[in-house]
Amino acid sequence: MILIAIGSNLPHPQLGQPRDVCEAALKLLETYGVRVLRRSPWYGSAPVPASDQPWFVNGVAEVEATAGRSPLALLETLHAVEDELGRTRTLRNEARIVDLDLIDFDGLVSKLDARPQLPHPRVQERAFVLFPLRDLEPQWRHPATGEELETLIARLPSEQKIQLLE
């Protein structure tokens, strides 16, 4: 199972509000040979770390990549979609038109210095990934630790604000 996280907290000049941007990103993935099999409901979440930027729209999707596509090739595809939608990278944790992260690639666990790091190195720290992931795949376990989603969610800091939008 290949899982990606989708997020946006800035409007796009042509596509509209962050939720529209997230939907457009999923459609655009298809043109790159990445088929979206299913997705979670959308959530609204406060920025992490806390800041005065707008709340995000977040979700998680299960995707199927072209046969033989490596995790690195998929990550590069995610970055190409971000670029096409106008994402610029200047500061860490800045507001952004779109953010696509590779969360899990068939349960692979990579070395610390690998690119990409799998599973995503902060998946267990992010309500905006874990809540949608629970809706999509409630039996998912962290590939490196084997921990269940409910255990990871229970350990989240209480200051991470999240709400179901659908």
Instruction: Compute the half-sphere exposure of residue 139: CA atoms within 13 Å on the CB side of its CA.
Output: 1
Fold for domain 2-164? Answer: Alpha-Beta Plaits (3.30.70)
DSSP for 12-79, please give it.
Answer: BTTTBSHHHHHHHHHHHHHHTTEEEEEEPPPEEE--SS--SSPPEEEEEEEEEEPTT--HHHHHHHHH
Percent of the chain with pLDDT over 70: 99
- Distance, in Å, from the CA atom of 11 to the CA atom of 113, rounded to the nearest integer, reads 34
Domain boundaries along the sequence of the chain:
2-164
Looking at residues 127-144, what average pLDDT do you find? 97
**Mean of the per-residue pLDDT values of the chain:** 93
Q: What is the mean pLDDT of residues 41-56?
A: 92
pLDDT in tens, 24-34: 999 999 999 99
Residue 59 or 157, more confident: 59
pLDDT tens-place string over residues 114-130: 889 999 989 999 999 99
> What's the pLDDT at 56?
96
Q: What is the pTM of this model?
A: 0.94
Instruction: Kindly tell me if the per-residue pLDDT of 103 is higher than 90.
Output: yes
- For residue 154, the SS3 value is helix
Q: Over range 34-49, report the average pLDDT.
A: 94
pLDDT(111) > 90: no
Average pLDDT over every residue of 148-155: 96
